[in-house]
A and B are shown apart, each in its own frame.
Chain A
Amino acid sequence: MDENIRFLHDGPLSPIKRWGAKWSLWPVHLVTACCGVELAHAYACGYDGERLGSLNYGIARQTNLIIVEGAITRKMARVLKITWEQMPDPKFVIVMGACGLNGGLFWNGYNMVRPSDVVPVDYFIPGCPPTPEALLRAIRALQDKIMSGRADSTARFEKVDLRDLVQMPETPKLKRAPTPPLKITKAPPIKVDIPREVDWDGDEILSLINDKIGNYATGITVTGRGRIHARIPLERWRETASALSANFDHVRSVNVIDVPHEEKFIVEYTLSSYTDRTLTGVLLTIFTEVPREDPVIESLADIWPSADYMEREMYEFFGVWFDGNDWMGRKFLLAPDTPDYPLRKDFEVNKESYVIGRERR
């Protein structure tokens, strides 16, 4: 068997085989992230990647090229590996975009994987996103690689002797690293319902909301044009929601704010209405505070089905248990190996730092 494979690779007919592979690089439809926009352009009428013998195809078993389009997340890494394993030999990988190189814009994200850790990569294309020309250039480079067997960089750089340009001192002095511009206050006061003076005539709407939930809310504040915040005690949460459900027919956002130094989560539901014409321009945010050590709150997904997926998401991000939502305790958006509750403030991502000498700041 090995002998046959060796014959195929190095035998007298191998140039023909390589020539065939060169002109039939078919990328599998493994669209992984937003660089797919420029990939689609590269194969559309403007750039016409098909003239290089390359055409997107749906089934991994009949393709020989993976174009990784940008970011690979922990969930997608598994799929990338499985797709790679399914493909017949010879097979190639081109990684598009800065995310695929080293994370790019998301370099310190908690859900990112480098494609080069998952599959062997033939060519990287830098850019965010790379232009279609760059993608076609990578395909040309890959064709050259197939024919010649050498993987050369397609970028050529002039050799410059730095000593001609700058006068370097004999022993360079270590400079202090500049301080990063971020100023993050530790344990700041967090308040979401700060009243604001705005040019907005909302008295009717305010009185309607007051009629509905005035008994439950401990404070109704106008925080902007058409933005109202209502503070609800945790024990009146469900009653408030059912009182509002007749007028406010959907949820636009479920938000949790982690305030570790005050030992609480702030849970917000942003409501609006399509049916009630007077309320269409209004965003009513009802919010309550949940203790941080035992974050349980009643789910409102049965009152507003539109909140269902956002509750699941918030459970995964913060670990707030929405009691009554049947997906609690399961993964939905994150991969099983993603760290738990990554959006809590005590989960830290890497921050930018400067390295001078061996000193890291």
Chain B
Amino acid sequence: MREEYLDIPVEPPAEFQPLFVPIPREYVENAFRSDEFIVLVGPQHPGSGHMRIVVRIKGDIIVDALPEPGYVHRSMEKLAENRLYIQNIPLFERPSIMDSSNYNVGYVRAIEDALDIEVPERARYIRTIFCELSRIGTHLYDAGIFSVFLGHTTGFMWPFGLRELICEANLRATGTRVTTSFIVPGGVRADVDDSVLKFIYDSMGVIEKRMKGFEKIFIKNPAVIARLKDVGVLTKEEAIRYGVVGPFLRASGVAYDVRKVEGYDAYDELEWEVPVGDDGDAYTRFLVRVEEISQSIKIIRQAIKNIPRGPILSDDLIGKLKEKDQVRKNIKGYFYRIFSRIRLPQGEFTSQTEAGRGLLLYSIVSDGESNVPYRVRMVTPGWLYLKGFMESLKGSRLADLQAIYGSFGYFPPEADR
């Protein structure tokens, strides 16, 4: 058969210019010549959050996917250079507010590492409880959004109903529903009442029980399994190569969890396991997260049972303050006096944390003289697994894009910072 070749000059559509879609012109021409289509998914779409994915398809098979992040880039790394160390705590939890405790603990541990602060035992247990609460909250949030992506409204209602319990626990202990900013260098802001701890303990029972119902209607639902099984597979080698993190890495068969590796807070003293899958498909990624919820429940129960009595703020920070006994219970009223003078020694201090969606890395560079950081590098899990997410799209059908998106729980504010 003789090959006909029409040399049609291809202009990128006019919409591309005002939208600034970062596609090279050659890319569009190339797609046209090889009989492929370019589909823009997002940023205004339920199946893609506030990001755009430029998908190149042949038939309905995805050949290539280019991400266009940055719709929620709020310039945190720059702003941190002009704020006190303590002012950066609420700033750095904004990327992922449902996961606020984990984000606080990561930043605060970098400061503690630099200043060699010993955290009292009760504060470490309280931190562990709230970190695990926000981990459950994040997994539930993503499960709910995932259900919306799959068009399963009941599956959205159940996790969000359970999240209300976590918001209520946060509210009782810290005063706000999501953005807690509860964890400060050297401990936590206030002691947690026994009644609140009992509430958290009881709500763990409710969550565990209701998750069984969720399992029936969503997790084991044949329609859900059919949509997720063998979709968006990342093999172990690929997952390592593209630097995927957190539950998504574990779903591909790598048993790596920062909580085990670094053993921060009270995780070393409690018994729990790292759930690992091996298929690396969308369904396994989801199942690993569901299993992590039950592990977190286990951690919280143990932590509440074993929580010791004692101060909640380190004596290294309180120093020679007159009102020592009061501050050891609640920092209220002495916040500025204690924290405004924090000044890190010269050098670079890096902390790693296992946030809800994976590894969270803070790297603070200090000049040793200013009371603001010289540079803070914050690498969030979403930003780390974006590459793996894009690679896992290749070869699947366009209709599966939402399933893969949801299985990663990609949260653009978190990735863009």
A residues near B, CB below 8 A? 28-34, 37-38, 40-41, 44-46, 56, 58, 60, 71, 73, 75-76, 78-79, 82-83, 99, 105-106, 108-112, 128-129, 131, 181-185, 188-194, 196, 223-227, 229, 249-253, 255, 257-258, 270, 274-275, 280-281, 283, 285, 304-306, 308-310, 313, 317, 330-336, 342-343, 347, 349, 351
Contacts and interface: CB of A to CB of B under 8 A. Distances in A.
Contact of A181 (B72, B145, B371): B371
**Dominant SS among interface residues on chain B:** mixed
Nearest to A345: B81
B350 A227 contact: yes
Nearest to B257: A280
B243 A29 contact: no
25 contacts: A37-B178, A40-B144, A41-B160, A41-B164, A71-B72, A73-B70, A76-B43, A78-B18, A106-B74, A109-B79, A181-B84, A181-B340, A188-B368, A194-B345, A194-B347, A252-B361, A252-B379, A305-B243, A306-B243, A306-B384, A309-B387, A310-B383, A330-B24, A342-B78, A349-B82
A320 to B, nearest CB: 14
Please tell me the size bucket of the interface on B.
Answer: 35 or more
Given A58-B46, A308-B387, A129 B178 contact: yes
A106 B80 CA distance: 10
B387 A305 contact: yes
A188 B179 contact: no
Contacts of B340: 181
Contacts of A105: 90-91, 94
B348 A192 contact: yes
B78 A194 contact: no
Given A182-B82, A252-B359, 16 more contacts: A34-B96, A44-B144, A45-B161, A58-B45, A60-B44, A73-B72, A111-B74, A129-B178, A183-B372, A224-B350, A226-B262, A252-B352, A252-B384, A280-B256, A285-B348, A332-B69
Contacts of A185: 367, 369-370
A45 B77 CA distance: 36
Nearest to A86: B44
Contact of B361 (A79, A253, A336, A347): A253
B150 interface: no
Given A37-B97, A45-B160, A183 B347 contact: no
The 7 closest A-B pairs by CB, nearest first: A306-B243, A44-B160, A188-B367, A194-B347, A333-B70, A250-B243, A109-B75
A29 B45 contact: yes
Given A30-B44, A343-B78, A78 B19 contact: yes
B395 interface: no
- Of the listed residues A258, A280, A342, the one surrounded by the most CB atoms of chain B closer than 10 A to its CB is A280
Given A129-B178, A343-B78, A76 B72 contact: yes
B374 interface: yes
A136 to B, nearest CB: 14
A336 to B, nearest CB: 5
Nearest to A181: B340
A182 B80 CA distance: 12
A275 B163 CA distance: 36
Nearest to A128: B179
Contacts of A283: 350, 352
Chain A residues touching B, majority SS: loop
A224 B158 CA distance: 44
Interface centre among B50, B249, B340, B372 (most CB of A within 10 A): B50
Contacts of B383: 309-310, 313
Interface in B62-100: 67-79, 82-84, 90-91, 94-98
Interface of B: 18-20, 22, 24, 43-47, 49-50, 67-79, 82-84, 90-91, 94-98, 113, 141, 144-145, 156-158, 160-161, 163-164, 167, 177-179, 240-243, 249, 254, 256, 261-262, 340, 345-350, 352, 359, 361, 363, 365, 367-372, 374-375, 377, 379, 383-384, 386-387, 413, 416
B96 A342 contact: no
B109 to A, nearest CB: 11
Contacts of B379: 252-253, 310
B349 to A, nearest CB: 7
A190 B24 CA distance: 39
Contacts of B365: 190, 192, 257
A164 B329 CA distance: 38
B29 to A, nearest CB: 16
Contacts of A253: 361, 363, 377, 379
B45 A189 contact: no
A176 B375 CA distance: 32
A184 B372 contact: yes
Contacts of B24: 330
A110 B77 CA distance: 11
Nearest to B95: A34
A331 B45 contact: no
Contacts of B144: 40, 44
A351 B225 CA distance: 52
B261 A281 contact: yes
Contacts of A128: 179
Given A40-B141, A58-B46, A184-B370, A249 B241 contact: yes
B46 A29 contact: yes
Contact of A34 (B73, B94, B177, B368): B94
Contacts of A317: 77
B375 A257 contact: yes
B70 A32 contact: no
Nearest to B343: A183
Contacts of B94: 34, 105-106
B350 A332 contact: no
B213 to A, nearest CB: 13
Contacts of A275: 240
B243 A251 contact: yes
A280 B254 CA distance: 11
Of A76, A193, A251, the most chain B CB neighbours within 10 A belong to: A76
